Structure formats: structure tokens, C-alpha cells
Amino acid sequence: MPEKMTAGRTEKSSLAKPEKLAAVKGMNDILPPDSARWEWLEDKVRSLMGRYAYRNIRTPILEHTQLFVRGIGEVTDIVEKEMYSFEDRSDKHGDYDHLTMRPENTASLVRAVIEHNLLYDGGKRLFYMGPMFRRERPQRGRYRQFHQIGAEALGFAGPEVDAELILLAAALWKELGLSDWRLEINSLGQPDERALHRAQLIAHFEQHADALDEEAKRRLHSNPLRILDTKNPAMKSVVESAPRLIDFLGPQSLAHFEGLKAILDANSIPWTLNPRLVRGLDYYNLTVFEFVTDRLGAQGTICAGGRYDYLIEQIGGKAAPAVGWALGVERVLELIKEQGAEIALPVPDAYAVIPDASAVPVVLQTLQALRAAGVSVQMHAGANAEGMGSMKSQFKRADGSGAKFALIFGEAELAQGSVAVKPLRGEKAEAAQVQTLQPLGDVAAWASMLRA
Ligand code: ATP
Ligand code: MG
């Protein structure tokens, strides 16, 4: 006896049931209908980036580990403990390449900009979207595979570009229906200004050594600025009483900061100064900022950015200024759920009811033409030995699909070269008047009615 086929699978009763496989911890499937919300967000971003003349860049997910060590910094959460790294047998005999799945995209982007000499004819504005990987403790708003959208402007030194990037983000929140955010800004000055602050910062923390946690003690001399970024509530007061970097800035750094603030004010973008907002590495300078919300619990930062005028040189390129931000897609979508506009989930315009399987070849010609004319049509499927299924069950599916119209390809209609179009929803359906006959051969004449 032949094996029984079920939906394309072969069933062998003698086989033991295989163990179920689940996704890797902290890594999520994004399924319909939820995936429509992702597409909606991505479409908004693409359109907005175009209006600000930012162009899309796509870099590989795998890079040499060294890129992130240099581009993010050795004394950071990411490089110390969060990277997915492995050894890949290289093409060269006996050698291994140390590779890492990108934990963020700025280092890769800068690598690509240098490698392809993108700044040869002036500054570049770029944006990216995609998955990033960090081995963190999974929780709400914190995953091991998560997604970022980022915008970066390279080759521009002035505060007008910092402002442009912030205005771009604010415009995005507006288009997404988000108002429950605040913008925190700070200036990190320049390396020489930070050196003065650093000495006093270390002295302050040494005076309060008993208030420091293990991580802070470890970073006291390697990266004291990062201590200000601690998530440990027990260190709140020692961090709040620490000397403020902003008080160590010289006139040029202050002028840059004032320039940014003036543009934000003129554009009615509210901001607050957060003197503890930092990036711990030497190639970050001047402007840093975060968009924060109170609606998402502990993971309240939806977008973070700043200037990194020394990074391009650090990665081996010709020195050039740069500034950018990255937003966390999962967090932004969560915030939209909390307070954003309702997002309409996609439904087909029409559902094709096919009473008799022998009509399928002809029916599909019409469906192809309708789709080419921009109509979204879901075909009834599920033929078996008994045919396409009863009219009752087909209409049930049509209803469930959310389509506004049923296209009924009955024998009588097809014999006249036409199809019956029956409204399923809305006023037209209620008036119950109207099932119309439309010509199969001239789809253009009635396609627009379905799209309406
Ligand atoms: P956090 O302080 O929350 O760990 P971070 O400083 O590590 O954030 P960035 O590297 O600046 O974050 O990344 C920019 C944005 O990406 C964050 O503001 C956040 O919205 C998002 N993000 C970062 N890590 C994760 C993660 N593990 N899961 C989900 N989103 C994340
Ligand atoms: Mg982090």
C-alpha cells in the first residue's frame, strides 16, 4: 500500500515522533499578522529617510571580531560579554578567522565607508535596518536577536547635522503616532576636556569606593565614564554627586552644544540636559542624546545616538567627523502598541470562489490580470478528490479572509465570459442589492471598483 500523503507530507506510522524544536532563547519569530506592523514601520522609515535624503546601506551580518573590538571598545558590555563570536576555518591552511555576528551596525557601516572610499566626494547620509545580536538576559524590550534602524551622517562637523538627525527621529515619532517620549541630551566635549574630568571623576569614585559595585570597581581606571551609565540603582547617589563633564567643556565645545540647542528650540523640540548621559569611549565626542519613554519599564530608551568624530580614524580610515543614532525596533513597536495609532492589518480586496475545479486554469488567468492591475486577490485553495469544497465552506473562508468582495467563478457566469462580483462588507453588502456580472476579458473596466 502506498504511503498516505497529507498536505504534501509523507506519514510513516512506524517512525518515532521527532522532538519538537524551538527557536533559540531570546530570538523571536515575527509572524503574521504582527509582521504587518513591522512592514508598516519599515515603509514609514524608508519614506521618511528619502525625504531627508538618507540612502540605504546594507552590510554583512558577520564581520571580523576585531572590527567590533576596535569600533565599540574593549571595556564595554557588548565586547566584554555580549558578542556571538566563533572561529571559522579560513581558506588559508590551518588558520582560523575570528568572526562575530554584528551586535550593532555603526562599526560595520564605517568599515564599509572606508573600504569603498565613500567619502571621496564629500559627506554621506546613510540609513540601515536589520537584525543585531547580543547575548543579554532576555526580558521585555531586551532580546538576543533584536532589530535596529539607524541613521548616520559622515563627513559633516557642524551641529546642524546633529540637529537634522534629531529632527528626523522626532518626525518619525510623529508619523508613528508617538508623543510619549522625551529627549535627553548632553555633550561629551573633546578628549582633552574629558581627560581633565576623568581625573576628578576617578578621585570622586575612589572617595566613595564602598558605594561601587564590582563592575564599577573594575572599570574605575579603564573606563570610569561608563560607570555613570550604570543600571544599578544602589549606585544612584554616588553617580548623581559625581563631577559633571559638561562643566569641563571649553568654548568651542560649548558653542557646538549651544548651536544644537538653538536649532532644537527653534523647531519646538523639547529637550532636557542629562549630565550623566555618556558614551564611554574616546572616539565619541560632543553631542550625545537619547529618546526615552516611561511607558516601557526598565527598557525605556527607544533611540540613542551621538557624535563619533574619531571613530573613522580608529577603524583605519582618513579622519572625518560623523554622527548618528540607532533605534530599537522592538521597543518602538511596543510603544506603538501602548500608545500609537491603530495599524490597519492587511486584508485582500477580493476572494475568488471557485465552485468547480475544472475552472481553475481559466480563473487563474483572470486573477493574474487583476493582480497585475493592483488588486489583491486570495484564491480559494484546498482541492481534494471531492472538488474545491462546498459553496458554503468557500464563502466562510471568503468571510474569514476579510475581503471586501467575493468573485464567484460559477459555471453559468463562466459560460457567458463573466464573473459574479459580490460585495461582502460595508454599505454595499448591506444594501444587498448588488451582485454584478463583470467581463473576464476586460479586467481594467472593473478592477478599480475592487481596490476602492
Ligand atoms: P541599553 O542601555 O538598553 O542596554 P544600549 O546602550 O546597549 O541600550 P545601543 O547600543 O545604544 O543600546 O542601541 C540603540 C538602541 O537599540 C537602544 O536604545 C535600544 O532601543 C535598542 N537595543 C539595544 N539592545 C537591545 C536588545 N538587546 N534588545 C532590544 N533592543 C535593544
Ligand atoms: Mg546594552
Q: In the CATH scheme, what is the code of domain 350-451?
A: 3.40.50.800
**Model pLDDT, residue 336:** 96
Q: Rounded to whole angstroms, what are the CA distances from 437 to 49, 61, 137, 440? A: 45, 53, 60, 9
181 lines ligand 1 (CB under 6 A): no
How big is the CA angle at 372 (ends 369 and 376), to the nearest 5 degrees?
95
Sequence length of the chain is 452
What's the 299 CA to ligand 2 centre distance in angstroms? 10
* Average pLDDT across the chain, whole number: 92
Q: What are phi and psi of 216, to 5 degrees?
A: -65, -40
306 lines ligand 1 (CB under 6 A): no
**By C-alpha distance, which of 426, 424, 379, 384 is closest to 403?**
424
Q: Is the pLDDT of residue 452 over 90?
A: no
Identify the weakest region by mean pLDDT among 7-11, 67-71, 365-369, 373-377.
7-11
335 lines ligand 1 (CB under 6 A): no
Q: Is the pLDDT of residue 283 over 90?
A: no
**Model pLDDT, residue 342:** 85
The 3-state DSSP class for residue 220 equals coil
Spatial separation of the C-alpha atoms in residues 46 and 43, rounded to whole Å: 5
**Model pLDDT, residue 37:** 96
For a mutational test of ligand 1's pocket, the pick from 299, 323, 330, i.e. the residue with the most ligand atoms closer than 8 A to its C-beta, is 299
Q: Do domains 34-189+249-339 and 350-451 have the same CATH topology?
A: no
- Beta-bridge mates of residue 96: 89
Spatial separation of the C-alpha atoms in residues 349 and 323, rounded to whole Å: 44
Q: Is the pLDDT of residue 103 over 60?
A: yes
Say which ligand is closest to the CA of 103.
1
Q: Is the pLDDT of residue 186 over 60?
A: yes
What's the 288 CA to ligand 2 centre distance in angstroms? 16
Identify the weakest region by mean pLDDT among 179-188, 224-233, 408-417.
224-233
Mean pLDDT of 290-305: 95
For a mutational test of ligand 1's pocket, the pick from 301, 311, 329, 331, i.e. the residue with the most ligand atoms closer than 8 A to its C-beta, is 301
**Model pLDDT, residue 280:** 64
Q: Is the pLDDT of residue 1 over 50?
A: no
Residue 145 vs residue 384, higher pLDDT:
145
E strand residue ranges, 261-394: 272-273, 285-292, 301-307, 322-328, 350-353, 377-379
Residue 280 vs residue 108, higher pLDDT:
108
What radius of gyration do the chain's Cα atoms show? 29
345-371 pLDDT, tens per residue?
899 999 999 999 999 999 999 999 999
Identify the weakest region by mean pLDDT among 58-67, 271-280, 294-303, 424-433.
424-433
Mean pLDDT of 177-185: 96
Q: Is the pLDDT of residue 48 over 70?
A: yes
The band of 191, judged by pLDDT with boundaries at 50, 70 and 90, is very high
Q: Is the pLDDT of residue 450 over 80?
A: yes
In CATH terms, is domain 34-189+249-339 a member of 3.30.930.10?
A: yes
330 lines ligand 1 (CB under 6 A): yes
Cis peptide before 131 (omega within 30 of 0): no
The band of 94, judged by pLDDT with boundaries at 50, 70 and 90, is confident
Which residue has a Cα nearest atom 21 of ligand 1?
328
Mean pLDDT of 27-36: 96
Residue 95 vs residue 97, higher pLDDT:
97
Q: Is the pLDDT of residue 6 over 80?
A: no
Give, for 11, the enclosing helix (H) or strand (E): strand 9-11
Q: Is the pLDDT of residue 11 over 60?
A: no
Domain ranges of the chain: 34-189+249-339, 350-451
What's the 220 CA to ligand 1 centre distance in angstroms? 23
Say which ligand is closest to the CA of 143.
1
Q: No. of H helices and E strands in the chain?
A: 17, 18
Q: Is the pLDDT of residue 313 over 50?
A: yes
**Model pLDDT, residue 16:** 82
- Beta-bridge mates of residue 136: none
Q: What are phi and psi of 413, to 5 degrees?
A: -65, -45
The band of 75, judged by pLDDT with boundaries at 50, 70 and 90, is confident
The band of 428, judged by pLDDT with boundaries at 50, 70 and 90, is low
The band of 33, judged by pLDDT with boundaries at 50, 70 and 90, is very high
**Model pLDDT, residue 5:** 46
Mean pLDDT of 386-406: 95
Q: Is the pLDDT of residue 165 over 50?
A: yes
Q: Which atom of ligand 1 is nearest to the CA of 103?
A: 10
Q: Is the pLDDT of residue 183 over 70?
A: yes
Which residue has a Cα nearest atom 25 of ligand 1?
142
Which residue has a Cα nearest atom 22 of ligand 1?
328
Q: How many CB atoms lie within 10 A of CB 199?
A: 12
Percent of the chain whose predicted confidence (pLDDT) is above 70:
94
What's the 345 CA to ligand 2 centre distance in angstroms? 32
**Model pLDDT, residue 3:** 45
Give, for 15, the enclosing helix (H) or strand (E): none
Which residue has a Cα nearest atom 3 of ligand 1?
299
Which residue has a Cα nearest atom 11 of ligand 1?
304
CB-based contact 141:334 (threshold 8 Å): yes
Mean pLDDT of 271-279: 92
pTM above 0.75, yes or no: yes
Mean pLDDT of 302-321: 96
Say which ligand is closest to the CA of 298.
1
